[in-house]
Amino acid sequence: MFYAIREELEPQEFDKLDTNIFSEYSEDIKYQKLIECYLQIFEAIKYIHSQGLYHGNINTDNVLVNRQNEVFLLDFGKCYFYGLLGYDNTRFHSPEQLGFIKCDIDSKTDIFSFGLCMLKLLVGVGIFEDFNFSEYYNTPDDLYKIFKAIENDYKLNDIDNDLFVLIKKMTVINTNDRIPLSDLWQELINILSKTRKTYCFEINLQPKVAQDYREIHDITITEVIDDIESKIEKGKSYWSFGLDKEGNRIEKK
């Protein structure tokens, strides 16, 4: 007996994951939203693997996204059922699922399929909008010519290049050479950080403000700058202002 318990999804609230959902964003934001989407799929896969299971049928048709850009991975476990019936969409299957190599089918198969999903979505944004993934890819043997065509025909920026390098690590034919899930997370986070703009600010302290700050925090005057910088690095605001009894603007904290 096969059964599934899942959240009821209203059809009008969801769409299949497609590059069209990124079209409203500027080029810089497109990459940020794309990688955030990757990370949500990653979290779903990570949870499945933590239960000692694997999905086995990860593809873009099995991923829905709502209006809040929340991602839902569907069809978990159906690959076992489809396998018994001899029916399945095999385009995103791993080499071991397709019989290209002889080895056990396990969680590493999801990493390969996830890599294909990432590739399909990536070539649908930015400079690759004229690249038709479905025309180029049918089996794992097609990956080499896809990567070669992209390298020859497009000028990749740093983020494009980093993502393609990562996807190559995920779609290696030999299962033992594929990037592990634990490393995949960190690489995605590192790439995401490159999509976010960094803003630099200069803080000028009046002598009295610096002196008050030193007394409040019980530090020497030479430690003031280091103390402020350490607080800024933690991403929190430590400054607030008010008025004293005479109506002068003063620092509170």
Residues 63 and 164 in one domain: yes
Tell me how far CA of residue 120 lies from CA of 57, 116, 167, in angstroms.
Answer: 15, 6, 10
CA dihedral 61, 63, 64, 68 (to 10 degrees): -140
Residues 39 and 59 in one domain: yes
Residues 182 and 118 in one domain: yes
Tokens of 45: 């896969």
Report yes or no on 58 lying in a domain. Answer: yes
Residue-by-residue pLDDT tens, the chain, 253 positions? 444 555 565 655 777 788 777 777 787 788 899 999 999 999 999 999 999 999 999 999 889 888 778 888 987 655 544 444 444 578 999 999 999 999 999 999 999 999 999 999 998 876 787 788 888 999 999 999 999 999 898 889 999 999 999 999 999 999 999 999 999 999 999 999 988 765 566 667 777 877 888 888 888 877 887 887 777 765 554 445 455 566 665 544 4
Identify the domain boundary among 152, 167, 195. 195
Buried b (16+ CB within 10 A) or exposed e, 200-228: eeeeeeeeeeeeebbeeeeeeeeebeeeb
Instruction: Identify the burial level of 34 via C-beta atoms within 10 angstroms of its C-beta, where 0-12 means exposed, 13-18 middle and 19 or more buried.
Output: buried
Residues 141 and 110 in one domain: yes
Report yes or no on 40 lying in a domain. Answer: yes
| pTM score | 0.72
Report yes or no on 4 lying in a domain. Answer: no
Looking at the structure of the chain, the number of domains it has is 2
Residues 168 and 100 in one domain: yes
* Domain containing residue 106: 11-195
Element (H, E) at 233: helix 224-233
Report yes or no on 1 lying in a domain. Answer: no
